[in-house]
Homo-oligomer: A and B are copies of this chain.
Amino acid sequence: MTEPIPAPPWQTPKKPPPRQPLSQDLIVQVALRILDAEGLDALSMRRLAQELETGPASLYAHVANKDELLDLVYDTVLSEVEIPVPDPDRWPEQVKEYLRSLRTVFRSHRDLARVSISRIPLGPNGVVGMERTMALMRAGGLPDDIAAYAGDLLASFVTTETLDDAFPAGGTDPATPRAYAAQIRSYLTSLPVDRFPNLVHMAGPITSLDSERRFELGMEIIVRGLSTYARPAGQDSSAGSG
């Protein structure tokens, strides 16, 4: 009811932390923070605006729409991926190093795999990544068309394999996924053996691979498949005189 007493002039008004002026960079940065902390479902234009202490409409001066924002977030994160400088002698191992780094980055930003789906990374970092990936693929002695496709196939593999274990990288609670796996296993085991002999037999193997081993196995399968396309060393067309 009573009017609040105005602050005396000698009191430094506790200025609200001098809100940084809006910019595309800042918007992307805060969006990434929300993504990391709370995931894609929590990242709305309105929530983002709130975090930036402004209204949702203000964002559209710096970003065309939500889709473009996600493009920018995705590209930003791609700077963290480490891609080995090709050493043809270590090709299979280097491919795996690249994929492991990609996985680590995907796992360290919540829901990034979901963001990456059907997004072609053509931003500044994405393009640099693609250049290095192509360099690496070609070092395996793959024909150009196979090398080109291999880049896509491998990245898609990491995406799908990362989609499910959406918990943060430092995830210390293996209980939840394991409990879920156990639940599925017991369901499969409970099926009538005469109609589902293979499912009953395979209930164990189907549910017992953890995400780490799935990933390592998947990499190995694809790399072996790709290796069958490699030209024998010494016939590397890019090594000849130009």
Contact = CB atoms under 8 A, between A and B. Distances in A.
A184 B151 CA distance: 16
Interface string A141-152: 000111111111
Q: Is the interface of A mostly helix, strand, loop or mixed?
A: helix
Contacts of A226: 221, 225
A191 B144 contact: no
A91 B184 CA distance: 28
Which range holds the interface residue count of chain A?
A: 35 or more
A228 B224 contact: yes
Contact of A225 (B161, B202, B223): B223
Contacts of A223: 225
A208 B147 CA distance: 13
A184 B121 CA distance: 11
Given A130-B199, A228-B224, A160 B156 contact: yes
Contacts of A161: 156
A217 B225 CA distance: 11
Contacts of A201: 134, 144
Contact of A149 (B135, B138, B187, B209): B209
A120 B159 contact: no
Given A118-B163, A156-B160, A163-B118, A145 B205 contact: yes
21 contacts: A118-B164, A120-B184, A127-B191, A131-B195, A131-B196, A131-B198, A131-B199, A134-B201, A138-B198, A145-B209, A146-B221, A149-B205, A149-B209, A149-B217, A153-B218, A156-B161, A221-B225, A221-B229, A223-B225, A224-B228, A225-B225
